[in-house]
Amino acid sequence: MAKKQISELQELRLKFKPELPLTLQLGAANIKVIKGKPTSCAKKFEGEVKKMFANTYGLPEVKFAKGKNDLAKRKITLGVVLSGGQAAGGHNVIAGLFDGLKKANPKNALLGFLNGPAGIIDNKVKVIDVKIIDEYRNTGGFDLICSGRTKIETPEQFEAAKNTLIANKVNALVVVGGDDSNTNAALIAEYLKQQNLDICVIGVPKTIDGDLKNEYIETSFGFDTATKIYAELAGNIARDINSARKYWHFIRLMGRSASHITLEVAFKTQPNIVLVGEEVLAKKMTLAQVVNYMTDIISKRAAEGKNFGLALLPEGLIEFIPEMKELISALNDLLSNPTPSFSTVDNNPAAAKTEDVENGLIEKFAYVQSQLPKNLSDLFKSLPENIAAQLLLDRDPHGNVLVSQIETEKLLVEMIAARLAELKKAKKFNGKFASITHFFGYEGRCGFPSNFDANYTYALGYNAAVLALNNLTGYISSVRNLIKQPKQWICGGIPLTMMLNIEKRHGSQKAVIAKALVDLNGKPFKALCALRKDWAFNDNYLVSGPIQFFGPASITDITTKTLQYEYGKGAK
């Protein structure tokens, strides 16, 4: 077999040695577990969560300290699964698990379940040995075992997962994922306890969106790398803007449910306009008000002879606009029910002739407008035709609008252009408006992990191995004090049930880890508010460049601006 081809950079990154926190450097056999008081979730959900998790609710928070631990020397087989979207550092989680297990007992085994949770259900397993893991250290992507979005939620799926774990003699399962995946980890842990099986389940916090976050999970892994990659790209564009001085660039960034990425990239680039979805929702802004806010800045800059600028907005902005959310919900309800036959257009318009698609859309537009309440019908009519078409044609298997695929940046550009044309006609705008749009999404998910993420993910994996060796089920791997150097990080485990809320989903009450949104009373957002006006009119763009891992440690190894603000350190 031909030798695997790797790039010069990958060869160099394989040699990087992540730095472990001092506690973890001792090895599991020399780490004792210190248990705190029993924990609870938010009081208003406590009764329901306690009932749903009778066997795993109320576990104590655990911390690690120096001390002999014979239990951790036992031989175990650990399974790991990557769940959900990719995030830089996933391979280092697996490397940390492997090294933590082998240091405790060389006979310990690590299995990877392939293609996400479906691999557990279908018993698709890969043995991970030193030769394999050494090819993936400090690399991006999830291709070692791949990922998937299957949820283990039906009785049949739980039964199949149980049988797979038993068949492979698995003592512990580590689930690497976001809020939904870690909720699933909590459910699997509870199920296995109900079945009287001594198999522990541990979660690891992963998502580039940054929305798996609380006082115990200071950041999810992959966020640092993704925002550095996006900031490099946005910074390059900002430099081009300042050089050409003739275009407005609108950049939509990953983050459907929260605007953390947009906020962090804004700190790193200092754009002229920053939209934060949570703020738009709190102010109950209409689409027209969002457009007018942006148009006002564009117009004022034009009056100073600046017909150029940079605007950042989150992927999920459209759902934060209350009237748009109401419209999308109404369309989901309307189009999920039987509708008149549109002979010239269906869910695969590419198969029809162009003129047929256009005629079919006109029919569909007319039907939808006739069925919506007047306020929503008027809003629908005001949308650019291509966006209205996306709302009708691009739908998921459940018939819902694919919100993440709506080109919000193009919607805003078209509406801004129309508004500026009105102002020009009224002699209230005398500038020029030329725009270029971008969406930065997949570019950030599988990059080589930054030094911070390489260290953090390795620590999370090693920490999870220590939790597993101590048979601590129902916990999420927690590594804190991240504003400090890795050797000073604090390690331990937090009960998953402590983070659960109850939400109504698909008509029934479900236990979920709620997504963490941008806190409008938090220090990072307040810092943005203080800086925004200066950014709007003074072109002090920052160009961070490729700062993932090469350069002085004071630049490459520090964590995000957001976390610095949260610790009250400001952002230099």
pLDDT of residue 557: 84
- Residues whose CB falls within 8 Å of the CB of residue 231, separated by 6 or more in sequence, listed in order: 264, 265, 268, 269, 544
Residue 125: which CATH number? 3.40.50.450
pLDDT tens-digit series, residues 428-478: 999 999 999 999 999 999 999 999 999 999 999 999 999 999 999 999 999
pLDDT at 3: 61
Q: Which pLDDT does position 350 carry in this prediction?
A: 45
The predicted pLDDT at position 361 comes to 76
Q: Domain limits at 106? A: 14-222+449-505
Task: Please tell me whether residues 375 and 485 are part of one structural domain.
Answer: no
Residue of 251, 253, 238 lying closest to 441 (CA atoms): 253
Output the domain CATH number for residue 346: 3.40.50.460
The sheet carrying 273-274 orders its strands as: 273-274, 309-314, 248-253, 435-440
User: Which pTM value belongs to this model?
Assistant: 0.92
Mean pLDDT of the chain: 92
203/526 Cα distance (integer angstroms): 32
Q: Looking at residue 403, what is its pLDDT?
A: 74
The region, left, alpha or beta by phi > 0 then psi within -120 to 50, assigned to residue 568 is left
Residue 337 pLDDT class (50, 70, 90 cuts): low
Residue 339: what pLDDT?
55
| CA end-to-end distance (rounded Å), the chain | 51
Residue 283 within any structural domain of the chain:
yes
From the list 209, 211, 453, 539, the catalytic residue is: 209
Residue 489 lies in a domain: yes
Strand partners, 479: 491
Q: Are residues 455 and 432 in the same domain?
A: no
pLDDT value of residue 390: 83
Query: What are the pLDDT digits (tens) for 195-244?
Result: 999 999 999 999 999 999 998 999 999 999 999 999 999 999 999 999 99
Q: Out of 93-107, 303-317, 328-342, 424-438, which region has the weakest mean confidence (pLDDT)? A: 328-342
pLDDT of 395 higher than 80: no
- Shared domain for 66 and 204, answered yes or no, is yes
The whole-angstrom separation of Cα 524 and Cα 446 is 26
209 is catalytic: yes
Distance of CA 13 to the CA centre of its chain: 24
Instruction: Tell me which of 315-319, 401-405, 496-500, 535-539 is least confident.
Output: 401-405
Q: H helices within 372-487, ranges in order?
A: 374-382, 385-393, 408-425, 451-469
Residues in CB range of 345: below 8 A, 6 or more apart: 352, 356, 357, 359, 360, 361, 363, 364, 393
Q: What confidence score (pLDDT) does residue 346 get?
A: 47
Task: Count structural domains, the chain.
Answer: 2
CB 200 within 8 A of CB 33: no
Q: Is residue 312 pLDDT above 80, yes or no?
A: yes
Q: Are residues 217 and 232 in the same domain?
A: no
57-67 pLDDT tens trace: 999 999 999 99
Task: Mark whether 400 and 499 lie in a shared domain.
Answer: no
Task: Report the range of poorest mean pLDDT among 154-168, 462-476, 499-513.
Answer: 499-513
pLDDT in tens, 343-367: 344 444 444 444 544 556 788 888 8
112-137 tens-digit pLDDT: 999 999 999 999 999 999 999 999 99
Model pLDDT for residues 27-50, shown as the tens digit of each residue = 999 999 999 999 999 999 999 999
Higher per-residue confidence, 144 vs 2: 144
Residues in the chain, total: 572
Residue written as token pair 């949820």: 151
- pLDDT given at position 348: 47
Q: Confirm if 261 and 254 have CB atoms less than 8 A apart.
A: yes
CB 73 within 8 A of CB 437: no
Tokens standing for residue 540: 């002090």
Domain boundary among 443, 466, 493: 443
Whether pLDDT at 531 is above 60: yes
pLDDT at 7: 87
Domain boundary among 466, 488, 505: 505
pLDDT at 568 over 70: yes
Examine residue 2 and state whether it is found in any structural domain, yes or no.
Answer: no
**pLDDT tens digits along 236-289:** 999 999 999 999 999 999 998 999 999 999 999 999 999 999 999 999 999 999
Torsion on CA atoms 477, 483, 484, 490, rounded to nearest 10 = -20
In a domain, 569, yes or no: no
Asked if residue 230 and residue 194 are part of one domain, the reply reads no
Quote the percentage of the chain above a pLDDT of 90.
81
- The token duo for 117 is 């949770």
